[in-house]
Structure 1
Amino acid sequence: MDMVEVEGLRIAYERAGNGPPLVLVHGYVGDGPRTWRHQLDGLADDFTVVAWDAPGAGSSSDPPPDTGMGEYADYLARFIKNLGFDRPHVAGLSFGGSLALELCRRHPDIAASLTLTSAYAGWRGSLPSEVADQRLRQALALADLPPEELVDALLPTMFSESTPPEVVEAFGASLLAVHPVGFRAMARASDVDLREVLPGIEIPTLLVYGDHDVRAPLSVAEALHAAIAGSELIVLRGTGHLCNIEAPHRFNEALRAFLVGVPDRR
C-alpha cells in the first residue's frame, strides 16, 4: 500500500497499471484493495487503476467523527489532486457511488466520467424513509459491537445466494478490520438525499447493478438512470450488491467498453 497525506490524514491506496487514470471508491464496509481486487488486476493493462482506503477504513486514518458526505468529497478531491491526476475516471460502489455524486457537485471539474455501481443518491434519496432509518440505526449499533457481529449482520446482504463461500469469506475478512469511528462517519454520511445532484450530471455516466441486490435493488438503479441524462444502465444477471466481485469478468468488460468510449460520448 502507498500513502499520501490529505488534510492531515494518512490516506492509503493501491495503484496498478499505466494509462488514463481510474479512481475506485469503495463502500462503507471493507476497504479499497479487497473491494476492487479484480479491477486492480483486470484493468491495469489499459488504465492506471487506484483504489483508495477512505478515511476511516482500511489502512487510512480516521476522520473527525462529524465528517459528512461533503467533507468526504473534499478529501477525495484533494487525494486525486495530490496524485497528480487530471480528469480521471471515477467509479464508486454503494456509499462510494454517493460519494462520487457529491464529488461531481462540489468539484465538477475533476471527473472525466462517472461509474455508479450498486449506488444510491444517498440512503434518503433512494430508499423509503423507514428503510433509511433502519440502515442508520443498524450501522450505529453495529459500530459498538464486536466486528464478528457486524460481519454476521451485513455480509449475507452483500452477495447473491449463488456466490461461492470462499468468495464471501474473503471479503468478510475485510469487514473484521472495521474502524468504529470511520464506520459511524460513513453511515451518517450515507444518510443524505442527493437527488438534486442527478439532473446536473453532465459527464458520461455508467450504472452497473446486480439483479439480486437486496441493498440497492433495481428500482434504485432505474430511478438514477431516469434522472441522469444520457446515462447507460447495465444489469449483471445473477449477482448481488458486490457485483464487481461476483462477476468480475462481466463487470470489467462493461467498464472497459464504457471507458474506452468516453471521448466519443463527450
Structure 2
Amino acid sequence: MDMRRYLPALGLAILMVTACSSSQSLAPGTRSVVSAPVRVAHTRLGAVGYRVIGSGPPLVLVMGYGWTMEGWDPRLVHALALHHRVVMFDNSGVGRTQELPQPFSVDAMADQTSALITALGLGRPDVLGWSMGGTIAQALAVLHPAQVRRLVLCATYPGSGQAVIPPVADRQAASDFPANQASALNAFKAAIAEYPPAPAASSGTKGIQGLAMSDWQTGSDAAGRQTARISAPTLIADGTSDQLDPVANDRTLARIIPGATLVLYPDAGHAFLFQDWTRFAALVNSFLAGNPRP
C-alpha cells in the first residue's frame, strides 16, 4: 500500500505463524473472481461500485488507501469465496463510487460502507479491512455495530489518538513486500493483472484519503476514539516486517479492542495477506467459522 501521503485491561492473544512466499500461478477458480462483473448499488449515500463472488454467509472486503477493488488478490478472494459470499467494492471517489461531500473522513467512509451493506441486504456480514480499509472497518463496527458479525483487521492503525508509530522506512522507498520476497511480489502483480483494466484513483482522491487517515491517527474521528466499544469478535493480523505500519500499532489496537486476537507473520510486510494468501485465507475462514483460537 503506497502510504507516502500519510502523516504519521482487555484480552489479547498473540500468535506467531510461519510466512511463506507465494510463487504459484493463479489458483484454480480465480477466473470467476476476475471475470465477476462490476455492478453499481444505489445507496442512500450515492452510487457504489462493487463485485460479488461466491455464496454463503456474506463477507465484505474494505480496500485501503489509493487502491481500487482490483487490488484484491484473486487467489485470496477465491479461497474466501469457497465459504462466503464475498463483496468487494471501491471506496468514495474511486471507480464507479460517488465521492462523499466534505468534510471527508474515515467515519464518513464507514457510513458509505454501511449504506452499501443496507442496499445489498447483507444484514450482519463479516467485515475484513486492509490498511485504511481496516480503519473504515473499525469505524463501521463502532457506528453500525448491528452490521458487523466478526471483524478482521489487516495491517491497520488505531484511531484513539494514542501515539501511532510512523513508518520505519522512508515513505518514498517503503514497500508492501520485504526485499527478499520478490517472487511473492511478482506473483501478486501477475494475479491482479488478470482483472480487466480499471481507472486508478485520482491524485485528488488520494490526497483527501491521506488527510482522512491523518485525522484518524490523531484521534479526530469519533469512532476512532471509541474502538474499545467494539463488541464483535476481532482478529488483527500483520507482517512483522511491515514498513508502513509497525507492529507496535497492531499491538496497541489489540489492547484497545476487547478480546482481540493478534496474529503476526514473520518475514512478511504490509501486504502479508497477499504474500501468504493460502495460510491467511485458512486463518480467516477458521476465525469466521467461530473457532475460538485461529
Which band: TM-score by shorter chain? 0.7 to 0.9
CA distance, structure 2, for counterparts of residue 180 and residue 63 of structure 1: 16
Q: Alignment length, in residue pairs? A: 244
How far did residue 170 of structure 1 move?
A: 5.0
Secondary structure in structure 2 of the residue aligned to 1:12:
strand
Gaps of 5+ in 2: 1-37
Residue 249 of structure 1 is matched in structure 2 by: 278
Match of 2:177 among 156, 159, 164: 159
CA contact (8 A) 2:188 2:275 kept: no
Indicate whether 1:236 and 2:253 are aligned.
Answer: no
Indicate whether 1:80 and 2:117 are aligned.
Answer: yes
Instruction: Point out the more displaced range, 158-167 or 171-180.
Output: 171-180
CA contact (8 A) 1:159 1:168 kept: no
How far did residue 222 of structure 1 move?
A: 1.0
CA contact (8 A) 1:14 1:33 kept: no
CA contact (8 A) 2:64 2:130 kept: yes
Gaps of 5+ in 1: 139-152
Secondary structure in structure 2 of the residue aligned to 1:64:
coil
CA distance, structure 2, for counterparts of residue 113 and residue 126 of structure 1: 26
CA distance, structure 1, for counterparts of residue 69 and residue 156 of structure 2: 16
How far did residue 9 of structure 1 move?
A: 2.9
Secondary structure in structure 2 of the residue aligned to 1:127:
coil
Q: How does the TM-score come out when normalised to structure 1?
A: 0.82
1:1-266 equivalent positions in 2, closer than 5 A = 1-7=38-44, 9-122=46-159, 125=162, 127-128=164-165, 131=166, 153=172, 156-161=174-179, 162-164=181-183, 165-167=185-187, 169=189, 177-191=200-214, 192=216, 193=219, 196-261=225-290
Instruction: Point out the more displaced range, 44-53 or 184-193.
Output: 184-193
In structure 2, the CA distance between the partners of 1:107 and 1:189, relative to structure 1 (3 Å rule), is same
Residue 201 of structure 1 aligns to which amino acid in structure 2? I
CA contact (8 A) 2:142 2:227 kept: no
CA contact (8 A) 2:141 2:232 kept: no
Extract structure 1 runs of 4+ deviating beyond 3 A.
122-126, 167-176
In structure 2, the CA distance between the partners of 1:69 and 1:206, relative to structure 1 (3 Å rule), is same
How far did residue 219 of structure 1 move?
A: 0.8
CA distance, structure 2, for counterparts of residue 59 and residue 163 of structure 1: 32
Residue 68 of structure 1 aligns to which amino acid in structure 2? S
CA contact (8 A) 2:45 2:115 kept: no
How far did residue 196 of structure 1 move?
A: 2.8
CA distance, structure 1, for counterparts of residue 100 and residue 191 of structure 2: 23
In structure 2, the CA distance between the partners of 1:234 and 1:113, relative to structure 1 (3 Å rule), is same
CA distance, structure 1, for counterparts of residue 49 and residue 160 of structure 2: 26
If asked which structure has higher relative contact order (CA below 8 Å, sep 6+), I would say 2
Q: How does the TM-score come out when normalised to structure 2?
A: 0.74
RMSD: 2.8
Deviations 1:3-38 (A, max 9, x none): 112345321111101100000001112122322423
Secondary structure in structure 1 of the residue aligned to 2:253:
helix
Residue 160 of structure 1 aligns to which amino acid in structure 2? P
CA contact (8 A) 1:24 1:36 kept: no
Deviations 1:183-208 (A, max 9, x none): 12221211222653232111100011
In structure 2, the CA distance between the partners of 1:43 and 1:189, relative to structure 1 (3 Å rule), is same
Deviations 1:83-125 (A, max 9, x none): 1011100111110111111112211211001110001114954
Residue 104 of structure 1 aligns to which amino acid in structure 2? A
Secondary structure in structure 2 of the residue aligned to 1:157:
coil
In structure 2, the CA distance between the partners of 1:176 and 1:90, relative to structure 1 (3 Å rule), is same
